[in-house]
Structure 1
Amino acid sequence: MGTTATVLALMPGTASAEIPPNDSRGGNTSGSLSDGKLTSNVQISGDKRAPGAAPKGFATATNWTPPACWYEPRSASEFQAYVEASYDSTVNYPGQHSYAKQAVSQFRDIYKDGKYKNYNLDKASEGAFWVSVQNPDRMNELAAFSCSDLPEWVPNGTPPPFRQAITPEMLAQAAYGAIDLPATRVSLAPADNTKVNLGTWAWLDKNVFEPKSVTATLNAGGTTISATATATPASVRLKAGTQDATLHPGSGECAFNPGGGAGVPFTAGSENQTPPCGITYLRSSGNGTFPLQASVTWNASWTGSNGQGGALPSGTMEGEPQNVTVQEIQAVNR
């Protein structure tokens, strides 16, 4: 293993980014040192998931994942504090192996009195050190370690020499990965208990199923960029839970209305009408139930602070089964 690889293996040179940030007030991040690691300066705001929460039931149409790691800037003083704290914690740790102390010393020497002098503090206003950070949602994946280059000083106005240097498009992907989408559960009428050959109306509330947006912003080391990802509900697909049913419409896919929401809420007097979105069951569920299931397709797009933008992969939020009891209509003999 070469010197660079050894240093990277033993130094906390790849930091943990909080995406979404671990801050209930709505934003990370100070870019400060925490447990020997720099947290990301990316801030997440908007309709974001709670820290550590996974988007249960959501899957993109393609095999898409948010970025596993990237490079972002640090001021000379921030980088100095990071390296010195890492050095002190390593060499002063009781029982630390000599090779670990040697590796962290080699890393420190690069920036203190080697390729760089005193962390370029005398040039602090002229540029920044670009360092790698990991997306914590993907920290256990091999891809999270692909940002393995040592930190580099980049003068102001010079493109960073890293393929995975943070861009508005990457921020948009991180923002999309943090969007909090509502669980899919359709309202039904009759609710949960219906009759054979009676149209069951299904709809989604427009106040819940509406466009959701998250903005990711980076303001660090002389770099200020941002991007907003927006997911918009497009359609809801119904599965009756049995072949003995008629879907409305026949495809089982109900488009969202121009004014929001999908389907039409049931109103008194509509009992004999065919629901624009719903199901007619053709047989009884007997002593059991039919597991009706709904899924919402969300289309996504992004806009960046650099004027760029475009589409993001669409995805589907699969709902949990909704158990529906279907009974025969009892005839009355007079």
Structure 2
Amino acid sequence: MHAVAARSRFLVVGLLSGALALAPGTAFADWPPSAGTQGNTKQTASSDAGTLVSRVTYSGSVRSSGSKSAIQPVGNWTPPACWYEPRSVAEFKKYVETMYKETINTPGQANYAKAAVGEFRAIYKDEKYKDYNGDKADEGNWWVAVQNPDRVDDPASWECSKLPFWVANNDDPGVDQAVTPKILAEAAYNAIKLPETEVTLAPEDVTKVNLPTWAWLDKAQFKEVTVTASLNVAGLNIQATTRARPVSLKLEPGTSDAETYPASGECKINGNDSIGEPYAKGKADETPPCGIKYLRSSGDGTYKLKATITWEIDWTGTGGAGGDLPDGTFGTTQDVTVQEIQSVNR
């Protein structure tokens, strides 16, 4: 059984077993959320209409799906795990009918799953609605819950718990998680691919006990990155671009037997967008603006130097929307060998 299709069917079964509400909630005054349109054009079904997969697309510096290298928000904030998107009558009908047929015809499928999917289909085909509101295809769209593909294992991805509901053209969907440019911006935050933060060191490969080691990042090695999230479905055409800008570098030597420069270990970004300062001949007696001094040899092993960059995040979106998002951090580790030599000619 295809994993996405199976998850979609399981989601429907879970929603039905919870006896969840069907009607939209309280209206919001700022709907539609953009200068775009919502449902003014009749749509045709697309090839993937049989799954509860988000139609949001990403462009720019996008990390691969499922990658563990996501930026880590500062604080308790997390990107959205789910939201609601519109589907045309044709798309929604194809989704339900495809899901129903696959469930009924799958060998060994549990009877409760077949019953739940049959009940789900009956609601929209014969009972509360007639033929998926086919006679109103030009008047509105179905809104469905989708999950952030990178957070499907997060329990929060089930918080969008309303069954698909009908929304007339240009009406407010009436749910907090209805997709907006801001939700797209938050989803794009989660999709950002950041550059590796391996710092340049001097001495480069092997440093010495009690010898200041200079550390720096050239502006060519790391710079601001952006991801644009776009959604163009069932007449709703919105997008948002999320930008991440590096602001500081945090050095963690990998041992308590070390000192950092500055003492906080946090090196601020320079005016030319670099961090720290490259070592140059003649600076042996100077204190590096960004660096480390190891006080003990690493012996036969190495110390794990962790370099973490803090990124400031903001966004702009359709209709002039925009604002700040929580800062994020992203770090990598590199091996540093420290030898028991007190001084060296340079």
Query: Comparing 270-279 with 298-307, which one deviates more in the overlay?
Result: 270-279
Distance 1:38 1:242 in 2: 48
Q: How does 1:122-271 map to 2 (within 5 A)?
A: 122-271=135-284
Distance 2:289 2:251 in 1: 12
2:66 to 52, 57, 62: 52
Q: 1:272 to 1:31 in 2, by over 3 A?
A: farther
| Equivalent residue, structure 2, for 1:294 | 307
Q: Is the 8 A contact 2:304 2:335 kept in 1?
A: yes
Residue deviations 1:184-229, cap 9 Å, x none?
2211011131234433210113122111111111111111111111
Distance 1:255 1:112 in 2: 61
1:82 aligns with 2:98: no
Q: Is the 8 A contact 2:185 2:242 kept in 1?
A: yes
Q: 1:233 to 1:92 in 2, by over 3 A?
A: same
- Report the alpha carbon displacement of residue 323 of structure 1 after superposing the two structures with TM: 1.9
2:54 to 12, 15, 40: 40
Distance 1:154 1:137 in 2: 28
Q: Percent identity?
A: 51
1:8 to 6, 10, 16: 16
| Equivalent residue, structure 2, for 1:25 | none
Q: Is the 8 A contact 2:201 2:214 kept in 1?
A: yes
Q: CA RMSD in A?
A: 2.7
Q: 1:112 to 1:289 in 2, by over 3 A?
A: closer
- Report the alpha carbon displacement of residue 5 of structure 1 after superposing the two structures with TM: 7.1
Residue deviations 1:268-295, cap 9 Å, x none?
3433333221123455445554443322
Residue deviations 1:275-326, cap 9 Å, x none?
2211234554455544433221112112221322222111222321432323
Counterpart residue type for residue 272 of structure 2: G
Q: 1:55 to 1:90 in 2, by over 3 A?
A: same
Runs of 5+ unmatched residues, structure 2: 1-11, 19-44
| Equivalent residue, structure 1, for 2:116 | 103
Q: Is the 8 A contact 1:216 1:228 kept in 2?
A: yes
Q: Is the 8 A contact 2:304 2:334 kept in 1?
A: yes
Residue deviations 1:219-273, cap 9 Å, x none?
1111111111111111112233445544322322111122222112223343333
Q: Is the 8 A contact 2:207 2:336 kept in 1?
A: no
Asked which structure has the greater RCO (Cα within 8 Å, sep 6+), the reply is 2
- Report the alpha carbon displacement of residue 96 of structure 1 after superposing the two structures with TM: 4.1
**Aligned residues between the structures:** 308
Distance 2:242 2:131 in 1: 40
Distance 1:200 1:31 in 2: 58
Q: Is the 8 A contact 2:242 2:313 kept in 1?
A: yes
Query: Comparing 199-208 with 72-81, which one deviates more in the overlay?
Result: 199-208
Distance 2:277 2:125 in 1: 67
TM-score by length of 2: 0.80
Distance 1:31 1:320 in 2: 44
Distance 1:204 1:253 in 2: 13
Query: Comparing 264-273 with 84-93, which one deviates more in the overlay?
Result: 264-273
Runs of 5+ unmatched residues, structure 1: 11-29
Q: Is the 8 A contact 1:31 1:38 kept in 2?
A: no
Name the SS for the 1:150 alignment partner.
Answer: coil
